[in-house]
Amino acid sequence: MARVTLKTVATAVGVSPATVSNAYNRPDQLSAELRERILAVAAELGFTGPDAAGRALRTGRSGAVGVLLTGHLSYAFSDPYAVAMLAGLASAVERTTSIVLLPLPHDEHGEPDLSVVRSASIDALALLSLSDGHPAAELARARGLGLVTTHRVDDPGASWVAIDDRRTGVLVAEHLAGLGHTDVLVVAPTVDDPDDAEVRVVDPPRIGYADYAARLAGISDTLGGRISMVTAGVNDFDSGLRAAAWLLAQDRLPTAVVALSDVLALGVLEGLTAAGVDVPATVSVCGFDDIAAAAPRGLTTVRQPITERGREIGRMLLDPTDPPRQVLMDVELVVRTSSGPPRTTA
């Protein structure tokens, strides 16, 4: 059976191929009666609409935007922060375009594999937790894609929706310092290997991803040399549990634990309390982001407008000319029952 094309439908209706195309893509150009007749004939012939790839070639647009994830694809569906961010983004774009989630793999040398960015059929790209100088950003610009990042950039032509991550670290550190804490452990995620669940001491404290690095810098600059750091696996609850188990196996506990995300902090909090550690009388626990699960567990954290941030990113992805193009969102320290003065020693 011969393939039914747009031209086949045009011949059957007695109109031009352009008129058939308008029935699908520009219905306002036709009368309602003519459009209904074209669609009815198309249905009889088994024609489902113009070829999407061909339309993209003609228009130079794919009708999709991409979101580059620093971790594996499952992260977008399991991490509460990512879920809230993507929900906001989707609410801004879903009526007019599609979203393509692009996980960023790394090769055996730890270098990013940019093939997903190189081959993706998208009109614009959002980089979550990656700096404007990342190779993925450079490739996106070389492709002529609209680019939106989640970090501030000095370039007045750049588009970003950011919070001051360094200030979030300062807020938590000032809170703990004000309570009298001088022995603070930072728990950080690793995002490149989900099978690596070993707890490791990182000395000196450092981490490669821009948002976490800024939070760590705020903590370190405020508390000076009074912090140590471990990584415990990917950014999830179980990694926080592993960090807590590691802590309990040490000779002594710090007076405070700061996890660089709420989901890690909640795992630490659960692991400590399940072992009978009094939080905060023995150990204070703090996190970042104020995800939905933070308040019921009394977690002290720094609130950021996660869903609203996603909406702003989506707005910029849809229209690269719609101002404002640089949005810095407010953050707020939320003190709850998981933090208090340090324990006294005999």
Choose the weakest-confidence range: 108-117, 146-155, 240-249: 108-117
> Phi and psi at residue 305, in whole multiples of 5°?
-80, 80
How confident is the model over 84-101, as a mean pLDDT?
90
Q: Which residue has the higher pLDDT, 24 or 233?
A: 233
HSE of 301, CA atoms in CB hemisphere, 13 A = 25
Q: Is the pLDDT assigned to residue 264 strictly greater than 80?
A: yes
> Phi and psi at residue 304, in whole multiples of 5°?
-130, 155
Mean pLDDT of the chain, nearest integer: 88
Q: For residue 80, is the peptide bond before it cis, meaning its omega torsion is within 30 degrees of 0?
A: no
Give, for 243, the enclosing helix (H) or strand (E): helix 237-248
Within 10 angstroms of residue 108's Cβ, the number of other Cβ atoms is: 5
Choose the weakest-confidence range: 62-71, 88-97, 297-306, 312-321: 62-71
Q: Return the residue matching tokens 């002594």.
A: 252
pLDDT tens, residue by residue, 96-121: 788 889 988 877 777 888 888 888 88
pLDDT of the residue at 54: 47
Helix (H, G, I), strand (E, B) or coil at 330: coil
Domains and CATH numbers, the chain: 1-45 (1.10.260.40), 64-163+306-330 (3.40.50.2300), 165-304 (3.40.50.2300)
C-alpha distances (whole Å) from 13 to each of 3, 29, 125 are 17, 17, 40
Q: Return the residue matching tokens 């061909």.
A: 54
Q: Provide, rounded to the nearest whole percent, the portion of the chain with pLDDT above 70.
A: 92
Choose the weakest-confidence range: 93-102, 194-203, 264-273, 275-284: 194-203
Closest-CA residue to 118 (of 105, 133, 129, 108): 105
Q: Is the pLDDT assigned to residue 258 strictly greater than 50?
A: yes
Closest-CA residue to 82 (of 103, 105, 106, 112): 103
DSSP E strand stretches across 117-243: 124-127, 146-149, 160-162, 184-188, 200-201, 227-231
DSSP code at position 289? B
Most distant pair of Cα atoms in the chain: their distance: 95
Closest-CA residue to 326 (of 167, 151, 134): 151
Q: Which residue has the higher pLDDT, 251 or 209?
A: 251
pLDDT tens, residue by residue, 37-85: 998 998 888 887 665 444 443 444 667 899 998 777 787 888 999 999 9
